[in-house]
Amino acid sequence: MIVDVALFASLSGFHTHEGQGHTRQYDLASGTTIADVISLLGLPDQPRIVFVGGIHAEETSELHAGERLAIFPPVAGG
């Protein structure tokens, strides 16, 4: 199944292939979870917020064809 994955800020370098902007398409096996994608991409263990289709999602959630996964790592300072 094809899923769009958007990696923001310092995570943008963890995409496995080149492309434009934050987002790349990935062909994932049915039943792949968000946590599986995080593991596949080797994202660092740091605070992050995850959205699917613009809505917050738990990392245990399964992805579905055509969805857009976005992962954003906030950094300190306020």
Strands 68-72, 49-52: pairing is antiparallel
Structure tokens at 22: 């934050």
What are the structure tokens assigned to 29, written together? 């096996």
Nearer to other proteins by Cβ, of 29 and 75: the residue is: 75
Looking at beta carbons only, is 20 or 30 nearer to other proteins?
Answer: 20
Helix then strand then coil, in percent of the chain rounded to 5, is 20, 30, 50
Stretch touching other proteins by CB under 8 A, among 13-21, 25-33, 34-42, 67-75: 67-75
CB of 42 to other proteins, least distance (A): 19
Residues near other proteins (CB under 8 A) are 8-10, 46-49, 51, 53-56, 70, 72-78
